């Protein structure tokens, strides 16, 4: 007799093949994939900061007032211009604070406010000195 019959041979078992995909790019932790925004967040356009026109106008008005108050015939115009420049500089400073970085020029606005206050202080000193001078003249004459 011949050899005992051998069982049929089966081919070796191979695991089923997985389809080959290109490797996936992993986003760094906490970042959203391109084009997607986290819930509740919006993307706003970026603005180039601009110098506040009101800040510059207020500063120039106060500088012009510094010159005009010394010219005798138009000194009142200088004081009105000083008051207007003071108000414009305060409004500009307020707008710069509320603009969230879109407006610059805080230095111009603050300089306008400070120079205007200095000019008002000078005005008070002149009025007090003039009052004292008039009082001393009237006191020397016998007064009222």
- Looking at every residue in the chain, the average pLDDT score rounds to 83
pLDDT at site 21: 63
Q: Would you mind telling me the total number of residues written for the chain in this entry?
A: 144
Q: How confident is the model at residue 99 (pLDDT cuts 50, 70, 90)?
A: very high
Q: How far apart are CA 84 and CA 77, in angstroms?
A: 10
Residue 17: pLDDT above 90? no
Residue 119 pLDDT more than 60? Answer: yes
Give this prediction's pTM: 0.62
- 50 forms beta bridges with 103
**Burial 20-48, CB ≥16 within 10 A → b, else e:** eeeeeeeeeeeeeeeeeeeeeeeeeeeee
């Amino acid at each position: 007799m011949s050899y005992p019959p051998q069982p049929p041979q089966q081919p070796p078992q191979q695991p089923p093949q997985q389809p080959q995909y290109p490797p996936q790019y992993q986003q760094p932790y906490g970042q959203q994939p391109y084009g997607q925004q986290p819930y509740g967040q919006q993307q706003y356009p970026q603005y180039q900061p601009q110098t506040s026109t009101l800040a510059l106008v207020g500063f120039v008005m106060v500088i012009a007032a510094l010159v005009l108050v010394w010219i005798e015939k138009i000194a009142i115009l200088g004081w009105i211009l000083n008051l207007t420049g003071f108000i414009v500089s305060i409004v500009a400073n307020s707008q710069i604070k509320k603009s969230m970085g879109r407006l610059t020029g805080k230095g111009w606005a603050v300089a306008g406010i400070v120079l205007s206050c200095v000019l008002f202080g000078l005005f008070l000193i002149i009025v007090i000195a003039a009052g004292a001078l008039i009082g001393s003249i009237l006191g020397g004459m016998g007064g009222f």
